[in-house]
Amino acid sequence: MRSAFDLMGGWAARASLREGTPAAPVPLAIDADADDGTPDGPERARYRAVFISDLHLGTAGCQAVELLEFLKQHPSETLYLVGDIIDGWQLRRKWFWPQAHNDVVQKLLRRSRKGCRVVFVPGNHDEFARQFDGHHFGGIEVANEAVHVTADGRRLWVVHGDHFDGVIQCAKWLAYLGDNAYEFLLRMNRHLNSLRARMGLPYWSLSQYLKHKVKKALNYVMDFERAVAAEARSRGYQGVVCGHIHRPEMRTIDGTLYCNDGDWVESLSALVEHLDGRLELVHWAPGALPGLLAPAGAQGLPEMSA
Ligand SMILES: [Mn+2]
């Protein structure tokens, strides 16, 4: 049977051949005895399930070191990788694969070897894996969509979410947009316009322009969330777990539970199911010690006046 590394390595080698650059030695070989510091034998699962997505391994934005720490502290019976785990789009442009990204892949495989059920639901950035729907690689199940049943019997539809993406442009906006960036741009607007005034140019409101864009982006988020929840409902599920838009969220929309586990580029968040079936959105604080996690739901939306 082909291993996950044959699959990924082969794919990566093909990608670099296509670009006409020499195929880099594929640094995905795994040392089966590699020790990540956790004791041997099955890990005691502290959670029934953990859902993570949008790691974007292979890009500089991926917070792999933080993710490793999170994974170490959140052993689970089942681990769902809800898409955009490996960023094939970026890797095709430029090969970027530091050791920490390797460590994440090793950690995921090691978890699987230790008896954790690992389910990979591909996203749009790793859609190359969608052709392997229903296959196992290195103990990891590939499924284009999955159903998770919580300890209290709720059936959750697990899907990356890009199929609901009518306007991908807006999602790109979201990737760059944070509260701080927004405030920074508003400050920049003042400088820009004092410069324009000195050059005899009329006032142009960057802030109005951006507010319009932010509003559109937020409308997009709302539309996305409603669309995903409505589809889950029409399929008879009590809820849905997705990723894709890099907006961690857990709320009920028209009676259907909508969970977005966020991402490991900006929000550093995950969805966990406790052993009693309780679901919780975890916001990982960089350098966090166990038990000192930031409160969930701390992420606000940009202030919107006018
Ligand atoms: Mn995506």
**108 CA to centre of ligand 1 in angstroms:** 20
Element (H, E) at 47: strand 47-52
State the pairing for strand pair 269-273/279-283. Answer: antiparallel
As to burial, measured by CB atoms within 10 angstroms (0-12 exposed, 13-18 middle, 19+ buried), residue 42 is exposed
What distances in angstroms separate CA 247 from CA 29, 54, 146, 268, 272, one per listed residue? 33, 11, 21, 10, 16
Measure 187 CA to ligand 1 centroid, in angstroms: 31
CA of 48 relative to ligand 1 center, distance in Å: 25
Q: How far is the CA of 160 from the centre of ligand 1 (A)?
A: 7
What pLDDT score does 219 carry? Answer: 76
3-state secondary structure of 133: coil
Eight-class DSSP state of 70: H
145 CA to middle of ligand 1, Å?
14
Tell me what pLDDT residue 266 has.
Answer: 87
Percent with pLDDT over 70 in the chain: 71
3-state secondary structure of 142: strand
Output the CA 168–ligand 1 centroid distance in Å. 10
Range with lowest mean pLDDT among 14-28, 137-151, 258-272: 14-28
Q: State the distance from the centre of ligand 1 to the C-alpha of 111, rounded, in angstroms.
A: 24
Architecture of the CATH domain 4-28+44-167+212-283: 4-Layer Sandwich (3.60)
Asked whether 24 and 96 are in contact (CB, 8 A), the reply is no
Tell me the domain boundaries of the chain: 4-28+44-167+212-283
- Cα(127) to centroid(ligand 1), Å: 9
**How far is the C-alpha of 157 from the C-alpha of 305, rounded, in Å?**
36
Q: What is the dihedral of CA 226, 231, 237, 242, to 10 degrees?
A: -60
From ligand 1's centre to the CA of 283, what distance in Å?
A: 19
- For residue 248, the CA-to-ligand 1 centroid distance in Å is 13
> Which is more confidently placed, 230 or 165?
230
Give residue 216 CA to ligand 1 midpoint distance, Å: 19
Q: What is the pLDDT of residues 42-98, one digit of tens each?
A: 567 799 999 999 999 999 899 999 999 999 999 999 999 999 999 998 888 888 999
Name the more confident of 281 and 30.
281
Q: How far is the CA of 123 from the centre of ligand 1 (A)?
A: 5
Cα(33) to centroid(ligand 1), Å:
33
Ligand 1 center from residue 161 Cα (angstroms): 7
Structural contact between residues 87 and 104, judged by C-beta atoms closer than 8 angstroms: no
Residue 20 pLDDT > 60, yes or no?
no
CA 198–ligand 1 middle distance (angstroms): 43
Sheet of strand 76-81, all strands in order from the earlier edge strand to the far edge: 136-137, 140-142, 117-120, 76-81, 47-52, 269-273, 279-283
Q: Which amino acid is at 251?
A: R
Distance 124 CA to ligand 1 centre (A): 5
Q: 158 pairs with which residues across the strands?
A: 146, 241
Give me ligand 1 centre to Cα 58, in Å. Answer: 14
What pLDDT band is residue 31 in, cutting at 50, 70 and 90? very low
Q: What is the pLDDT of residue 306?
A: 34
**How many Å lie between the centroid of ligand 1 and the Cα of residue 294?**
25
Amino acid identity at 105: V
How far away, in angstroms, is 131 Cα from ligand 1 center? 17
Measured CA to CA, the distance from residue 268 to residue 224 in angstroms comes to 20
In angstroms, what is the span from residue 199 Cα to ligand 1's centroid? 43
User: What is the mean pLDDT of the segment spanning 154-182?
Assistant: 69
Would you state the pLDDT for residue 181?
A: 63
3-class SS at 244?
A: coil
C-alpha pair distances (Å), 238 with each of 101, 143, 233, 278:
35, 20, 7, 14
pLDDT-based confidence at 278, cuts 50/70/90? Answer: very high
> Residue 11: pLDDT band by 50, 70, 90 thresholds?
very low
pLDDT of residue 121: 98
Between the CA of 244 and the centroid of ligand 1 the distance, in Å, is: 4
